[in-house]
Chain A
Amino acid sequence: MRISLLLAGAMFTLPALAQEPVPDRDLLTRPLPGLNAKELERFMLGRSLFRQSWVIAPASDTTVDGLGPLYNRLACISCHPKNGRGGAPSGPHEKMQSMLVRLSVPGTPPRPHPVYGDQLNEEGIPGVPGEGRAEVHWQEKEVRLADGHLVRLRFPEIRFVELAYGEIGPVLVSPRVGPHVAGLGLLDAVDARTLTAMARAAKPDGVTGKMNRIGRQAGRFGLKANTADLRGQIAGAFHGDMSITSPLFPDENCTPAQSACKQAPNGGKPELSARQLDDITFYVAHLAPPPRRNSEAPAVKRGELLFAGFGCAVCHQPTLQTGNSPHRLLRKRSFSPYTDLLVHDMGPGLADHRPDHAATGSEWRTAPLWGIGALAAINEKVGFLHDGRARTLEEAILWHGGEAEAARRRYGQADAASRRDLIEFLNSL
């Protein structure tokens, strides 16, 4: 036997690096409790696809080929790192990475730009030029709160450079950061009647809120609620971000002006099979919502009262109920997403001036707040609001306007301790 080289000193244990508690950076990746073995297997299959970096066709691994010809990133986790939220570039020199820019020309529903389509695809496979680059140039403004506290807010100006298919001309643009994806199955299972009831309910402070509608369906997903269901949202992201075709989006993401794109090889028709789409939808649908943290801390309790008192909870509804989902674990459940899934006018400061179905250029879907306090530990570049402009939760609050103006004003008038308590509460979600 050759075990004479065995040395006691050659065994090492590697504990966690830091002495302080390691934050749970995987909290958005866990399955809903209660999945059986078969469901868990399907969940894992979906996870593999969500983590998969897609391959340029042709490839011997035919189940995951078909990236591009024009695309933004290679994998779902590129824009949703660890299932979490993306962030914006710090300046024009940085690639967008987990951010993208929607494009359209006026029309309803939004009409894609005739040459660049409905999203700027910065990357192209070899032989197909990427569409160009969107540079983020940050502008700043200052807001002074009632007690004199000064807050600097930044907002992006988008400039297109290196455009490969000619001048872009007049175009409506909307930069977006990928949101986190945990708990989406529960949002998918909220009954349309619940949304209708919330839209019709009388609300204080001039808040209204409406459902976006896609044909006759209620919109739930997308930052302007322009997609009715989770399967459609996932298929749309595959198509828009990676140019992966699926049963819902059977054609490659090339415009008539993009001849190299149209001639490039594909990874089958469709590239993402119905089964794969179902598996990945099952996975995302069964990601457990982010758990609350420190919810019993006194500051958090005080902040929760302020959240209601300021009027935030009118739109960021603490509790929703699911209806009759095809998935047993998602049926008839009460959960706490802190959204009403309705679109609200958020005022000129946040407007992208790009209407989307029934949502106007200043309307946005109420962002679910669950998990918001955990996101910075997961992604060091995380940014809040639709385009990642807010570096802190306070900045995000101070951008609220329109229907949220009264709530924002109450926050601005509150003393520093109250403001801290509110942020503590948000960090506990």
Chain B
Amino acid sequence: MNKRRAFLKSGLALTVAAISGKPAWSAPQTVNVVTGYPDEFVSRVEAAFEKAHPEYRLRVIWRMPADAAPYLRQPGHGGADVYWSASPRTFARLASEGIWRKLPADRRHLPPHIGKVALGDTAGYYTATEVAGFGFAVSPDALAKRGIAPPRDWPDLADPRLAGLIALPVPARVGFAPPLIDIVLQGWGWDAGWALWSEITANAVLIDRGSTFVTDEIVAGRSTVGVSIDFFVNAAIANGAKLDFIYPAHTGLNPAHIAVTRDSTNPDGAAAFVNFILSPAGQRLLAHPDIRRLPVRPDVYAELPATYYNPFAAAAAGGLQFDSDAARPRLATLAAAFQQMLIEPHAELGELWRRLRRAEAAGKATTPIRALLCRPPLSEAEANTAELQRQIGLRIEGGPEAAPSATEIVWQKQCTKNRRHARQALEAIKA
């Protein structure tokens, strides 16, 4: 027997199996789902959905929100049947463009709201599949070592003892972060809110997109507190990290939605997927240690450990008052202003705040200086202007980052002037 024949003979068993195989059942139909969720989430949902519905097979088309909208606007929506992602703006925008069909979902078990967050649109085109809350990741050990109590609300982050110890995601660069700004502005009002942010940011180490995680910084001991959305931190905790996550008194939720495309070629499959995601089985997947998001079905919490954060209970106790619907149109504007006021001059801002705090500790009069460092470059009325919101809209959600607009350059100059005056005033009092 020559070598080649020996090869063929040795592989025969597997070869015969390969060519004589028949499907275990008729070929499933494909459901095309566009999503921006990470693979550890999507893979588990895919496996569970296909197990529950062997007549369907999922094809995942991964797109960040800014990229998902143009994809879904294509003729035939690029083949997509479903859009499933944490991007409320994209769902709302595409609904206004007529991209969705009425949601083929059983919503009887879904309350319309949690706190001030609406879970679905009133027209019935999309609904929330999970929510995530904002708050503080902390290292209890590191805080205890420094004798600092765990932060209970945003003003606690302005504590000078936390200078250099707070990990803060850059709102204009990190997808989940823009609502953080408005949680504080809605809670404390426009002027006091920006003042609080100025102090908190001066204490912070900035976390950019695609680099380190807030949890990395705390676990490694480089930070003690981190501002974050809950699932990153709760997943890290469920994976063994010695952290706590604190939902502050002023906080809110970010809903993630699902919708079916108008021209879906597999509407039954799309409906099966939507209803699976909203079913108890689909909602229970959210508690997996690698996912750790918050179900939108109140009944599912009864099956979760009592320590699992229950936003329905928190809302019933009067929490979760952040109005994400009201915030949504102005988030890009806020992130852009935050960038010019607090992020670009971050190093200088930190230095000025250190000098200001020393002067205050020495009993010097500093009220006007504090006002200069806390003053936002725009009024609330300006931030709520539709034209400005349109102008800056693309900056958010990881979209293309154009050069700063003329308005932002004006803000930049205004903030630079404020800092210059603050510096001069500090020098005048020898601080």
Contact = CB atoms under 8 A, between A and B. Distances in A.
A18 interface: yes
Nearest to B213: A44
A3 B184 CA distance: 10
Given A54-B62, A93-B24, A161-B21, A41 B211 contact: yes
Given A74-B39, A135-B24, A158-B17, A16 B238 contact: yes
The B contact surface, by secondary structure, is: mixed
A24 B239 contact: yes
Contact of A93 (B38, B42, B54, B249): B54
Interface stretch (A170-178, A284-292, A298-306, A337-345): A170-178
Nearest to B248: A11
B322 to A, nearest CB: 10
Contacts, number: 227
A13 B43 CA distance: 29
Interface string A165-185: 001111111000000000000
A9 B11 contact: no
Interface stretch (B45-53, B89-97, B278-286, B326-334): B45-53
Interface in A15-62: 15-18, 22-27, 40-41, 44-45, 48, 51, 53-56, 59-61
Contacts of A59: 63, 67, 71
Q: How large is the interface on A (under 10, 10 to 19, 20 to 34, 35 or more residues)?
A: 35 or more
Interface string B232-265: 0010111111001111111100000000000000
Given A158-B14, A171-B18, A26 B321 contact: no
A148 interface: no
Given A17-B238, A159-B17, A2 B188 contact: yes
Interface string B1-34: 0001001101101110111111111010000100
Interface string A329-362: 0000000000000000000000111110000010
B66 interface: yes
Interface string B146-170: 0000101100000000000000000
Interface stretch (A77-85, A217-225, A397-405): A77-85
Interface stretch (B311-319, B348-356, B365-373, B376-384): B311-319
A182 to B, nearest CB: 15
A26 B239 contact: yes
B239 A17 contact: no
B153 A6 contact: yes
Given A10-B320, A12-B247, 13 more contacts: A1-B192, A6-B250, A7-B319, A13-B247, A14-B247, A23-B240, A55-B63, A82-B290, A93-B25, A123-B59, A135-B24, A159-B21, A170-B11
26 contacts: A6-B153, A6-B250, A12-B246, A14-B308, A15-B307, A24-B240, A44-B211, A60-B66, A60-B67, A61-B67, A74-B39, A78-B39, A93-B50, A94-B47, A94-B50, A133-B23, A135-B23, A161-B21, A161-B22, A161-B27, A168-B18, A168-B19, A170-B15, A171-B11, A171-B18, A355-B7
Interface of A: 1-3, 5-18, 22-27, 40-41, 44-45, 48, 51, 53-56, 59-61, 67, 73-75, 77-78, 81-82, 92-95, 97, 106, 123, 125-127, 133, 135, 157-162, 167-173, 351-355, 361
Interface of B: 4, 7-8, 10-11, 13-15, 17-25, 27, 32, 38-40, 42-43, 46-47, 50-51, 54, 57, 59-64, 66-67, 70-71, 78-79, 150, 152-153, 186-189, 192, 210-212, 216, 230, 234, 236-241, 244-251, 287, 289-290, 304-305, 307-309, 314, 317-321, 398-400
